[in-house]
């Protein structure tokens, strides 16, 4: 096992878990987290209070001199129930929640004046439900909205079946107050918000590198991303109505308690790059819906890079990714081998974090570690269009349109441009991405393969140029030079931030 000095925010001994992905990659527990839940959890930590007695949302990272990395989100269970309960599974609807759902509508109608016959509460509910991000077949309390404003970012709440069945009787007999019933959800289980976003938060925090100006700059851009006063006013109006009904003795009774754990210190190097990439992306004056989508996809690419660099930390190997863009048979085979190397490196570090005196549990420990690393990479990699095919053998890496957009907007600053060959150099230097012949030859040399194969990457490079051109990020000049450009204005200049 590795020493605490190799980790950030590790004050106690590294746990000897059956899940070796935890000491390998940081305290990220489960493999069931979805794409948007990584983003939601990161933003939840960012906007939440860092001190429990502060009633206002924070909208800031922790201070660089913080001794404890804690955060205190408001689960906003009443608002979540109002939005999701009506359309949720019937087998997760309990009498107490049905009672509170109807009570919420009663309280809401007290504050609504309308001469129309329509049910205004239903219109509001359907409007907000339209911003759903994570539904699946989950219970209403495990569903989520797109994080368009801080008030729409819900922390995790898990309801216990037996507990919720008994609450209605207790409440009806006046043994429990509304606040007591509303705060019985488990808010620390991490079943869906499974610490992946917390790890990314610490990754970005490390990447700020104690630079106060960069910290303030990124905070300002994230605040702009989550700024929609109309949605904030509506959601705050609804939540305040419910909190007035609950009338807790102390507002902090409604808050949950989160604690950030640890990540390897090697993430700092990649974190500095990730911060730069986020600042460039968030500086682009594009629609916030699209920006959130690119943020979610790009975050996952950054996380994959974190994991690969960590896996090869103690080797002399370079974490290189050969991409299959043109579906050329030779490059395709190299891309398959490249992805196999990626997974093998993950498996190697998992094995190194399984105690040698637990051979009887080695197979089960390795299986558990792969579930929360390799299997997770496959699932989310396919979801963002980074890994193909969706089903079947010969898995390899490629780039979806959203990933291409993220890479351009995160590397090329707003209203700036660079030559295509320079952009390929940036992809190689920042992400280890291999597309054209020049970097293909480097990959072949690194892996002791026939360097004559580099010529087959020419078709790959051309196909990538055509994709960039189709999306609107590349144009050809008269002297046969191609330019990659970020066509968007800088949002800070547009809005005078």
pLDDT, tens only, 406-434: 999 999 999 999 999 999 999 999 999 99
Look up tokens 């590349």; give the residue.
474
Measured CA to CA, the distance from residue 436 to residue 421 in angstroms comes to 9
pLDDT bucket at 396, cuts 50 / 70 / 90: very high
> What confidence score (pLDDT) does residue 126 get?
94
Which range has the worst mean pLDDT, 9-23, 263-277, 342-356, 399-413? 9-23
Look up tokens 């979610």; give the residue.
296
pLDDT at 147 over 90: yes
* Segment 30-59 mean pLDDT: 85
- Per residue in 281-314, is it b (16+ CB within 10 Å) or e — as a string? bbbbebebeebbbbbbbbbbbbbbbbbbbbbbee
CB 37 within 8 A of CB 136: no
Closest CA to 272 of 211, 199, 206: 206
* Segment 269-277 mean pLDDT: 96
Closest CA to 293 of 413, 138, 148, 411: 148
Listed in order, strand segments (DSSP E) in 93-228 are 132-134, 144-145
Bond prior to 389 in cis (omega within 30° of 0):
yes
> What confidence score (pLDDT) does residue 450 get?
92
Distances in whole angstroms, Cα of residue 17 to Cα of each of 7, 24, 195, 236: 16, 11, 16, 41
> What confidence score (pLDDT) does residue 403 get?
98
pLDDT at 457 over 70: yes
Mean pLDDT for the chain? Answer: 90
pLDDT at 497 over 60: no
> What confidence score (pLDDT) does residue 17 get?
64
Rounded to two decimals, the pTM is 0.93
Instruction: Please give the DSSP secondary-structure letter assigned to residue 266.
Output: T
Residue 471 CA to chain centroid, in angstroms?
A: 24
Distances in whole angstroms, Cα of residue 348 to Cα of each of 120, 268, 269, 314, 374: 58, 22, 22, 11, 11
* Segment 189-210 mean pLDDT: 91
């Amino acid at each position: 096992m590795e020493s605490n000095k190799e980790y950030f925010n590790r004050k106690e001994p590294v746990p000897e878990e059956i899940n070796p992905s935890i000491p390998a990659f940081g305290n990220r527990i489960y493999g069931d987290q979805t794409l948007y839940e990584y983003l939601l959890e990161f933003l939840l930590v960012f906007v939440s209070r860092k001190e429990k007695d502060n009633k206002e949302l924070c909208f800031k990272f922790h201070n660089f001199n913080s001794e404890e990395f804690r955060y205190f989100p408001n689960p906003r269970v009443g608002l979540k129930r109002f939005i999701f309960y009506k359309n949720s599974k019937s087998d997760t609807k309990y009498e107490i929640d049905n009672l509170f759902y109807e009570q919420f509508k009663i309280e809401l109608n007290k504050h609504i004046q309308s001469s129309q016959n329509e049910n205004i509460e239903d219109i509001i509910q359907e409007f907000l439900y339209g911003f759903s991000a994570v539904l699946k077949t989950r219970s209403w309390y495990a569903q989520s909205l797109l994080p368009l404003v801080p008030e729409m970012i819900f922390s995790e709440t898990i309801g216990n079946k037996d507990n919720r069945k008994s609450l209605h009787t207790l409440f009806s007999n006046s043994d429990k107050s509304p606040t007591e019933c509303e705060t019985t959800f488990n808010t620390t289980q991490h079943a869906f918000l499974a610490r992946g976003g917390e790890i990314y938060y610490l990754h970005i925090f490390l990447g700020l590198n104690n630079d106060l100006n960069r910290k303030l700059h990124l905070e300002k851009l994230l605040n702009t991303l989550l700024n929609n006063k109309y949605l904030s006013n509506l959601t705050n109006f609804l939540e305040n109505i419910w909190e007035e009904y609950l009338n807790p003795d102390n507002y902090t009774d409604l808050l949950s308690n989160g604690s950030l754990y640890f990540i390897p210190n090697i993430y700092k190097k990649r974190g500095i790059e990730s911060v730069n990439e986020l600042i460039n992306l968030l500086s682009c004056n594009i629609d916030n819906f699209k920006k959130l989508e690119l943020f979610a996809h790009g975050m996952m690419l950054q996380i994959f890079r974190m994991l690969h660099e960590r896996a090869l930390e103690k080797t002399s190997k370079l974490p290189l990714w050969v991409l299959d863009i043109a579906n050329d048979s030779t490059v395709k085979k190299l891309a398959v081998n490249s992805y196999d190397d990626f997974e093998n490196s993950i498996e190697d570090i998992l094995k190194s974090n399984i105690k040698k005196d637990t051979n009887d549990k080695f197979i089960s420990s390795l299986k558990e570690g792969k579930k929360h690393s390799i299997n997770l990479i496959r699932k989310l990699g396919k979801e963002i269009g980074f890994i193909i095919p969706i089903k079947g053998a010969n898995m390899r890496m490629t780039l979806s349109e959203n990933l291409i957009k993220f890479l351009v907007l995160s590397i090329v600053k707003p209203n700036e441009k660079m030559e295509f060959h320079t952009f390929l150099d940036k992809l190689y230097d920042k992400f280890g991405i291999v597309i054209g012949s020049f970097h293909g030859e480097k990959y072949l040399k690194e892996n002791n393969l026939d360097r004559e194969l580099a010529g087959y990457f020419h078709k790959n490079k051309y196909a990538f140029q055509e994709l960039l051109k189709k999306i609107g990020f590349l144009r050809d000049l008269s002297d046969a030079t191609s330019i990659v450009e970020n066509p968007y204005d800088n949002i800070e200049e547009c809005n005078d931030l």
